[in-house]
Amino acid sequence: MNLLHLDSSILGDHSVSRQISAAAVAALRAESPGLNVVYRDLGATPAPHQSGALLAARGLDPEARTPDQTREVADADAILNEFLAADIVVIGVPMYNFGIPSQLKSWIDHIAVAGKTFRYSEAGVEGLAGDKRVILASSRGGFYGPDSPAAGLQHQESYLRGFFAFIGVQDVEVVSAEGVNISPDQKQASLDAAVAEAGGLGRLLRAA
């Protein structure tokens, strides 16, 4: 069983979402000791943006590519292949300006690939990644629950749920720490609750 662990916070050791994603991965490892974990720190090393240069390099015969083009295509392929190989994907994701970090968006731009993770058919769009379990370890400075005044600005979790549904993933769980910038006490309470919840995710794996 393969687990892909991503973090996308730019705050390193001060990150809330990194602590939640780490707790989820630790719980899954404890429950499944043979788990093969691949880690990618998008905050430290962002996925390259899609670009015309990359598309042009893809269009060339491999032998005709320069060494730089060969490396760029291989790096992009590695991102997609890591995702395709994963049974479980754990994503540490802060809210930045009501959405996801651009570092995570550029990763998504490499895995949304027609013919690999979705396809168009006469019946419409068909997701091809339905065999995966996705866990979102999320943190937000404010509150965005359905009854909050800012609910309409919640484009972080809703975007990711929509994206993963598009590529066929039905099994999306979200563990969130909200209101972490409201006060130190609120931050600690939200973090503790989210880490405890993430620590229970391994048991769900056994039940599945």
Ligand X SMILES: Cc1cc2nc3c(=O)[nH]c(=O)nc-3n(C[C@H](O)[C@H](O)[C@H](O)COP(=O)(O)O)c2cc1C
Q: Which chain residues interact with ligand X by CB under 6 A? A: 9, 11, 15-18, 94-98, 139-142, 180-181
**Complex with ligand X: residue 43 or 167, whichever CB lies closer:** 43
- Sign, CA torsion 54/6/177/188: negative
**Complex with ligand X: residue 16 or 88, whichever CB lies closer:** 16
Q: Shortest distance, CB of residue 184 to ligand X, whole angstroms?
A: 12
Q: Shortest distance, CB of residue 154 to ligand X, whole angstroms?
A: 9
Provide the 3-class DSSP secondary structure of residue 56: helix
Residue 44: Cβ within 10 Å count = 12
What span, in angstroms and rounded, lies between the C-alpha atoms of 62 and 34? Answer: 36
Give Cα separations from 204 to 25, 107, 141, 169, 177 (angstroms). 13, 27, 28, 17, 20
**Complex with ligand X: residue 27 or 42, whichever CB lies closer:** 42
Q: Shortest distance, CB of residue 139 to ligand X, whole angstroms?
A: 4
**Complex with ligand X: residue 57 or 96, whichever CB lies closer:** 96
- Sign, CA torsion 55/56/57/58: positive
Q: Shortest distance, CB of residue 182 to ligand X, whole angstroms?
A: 9
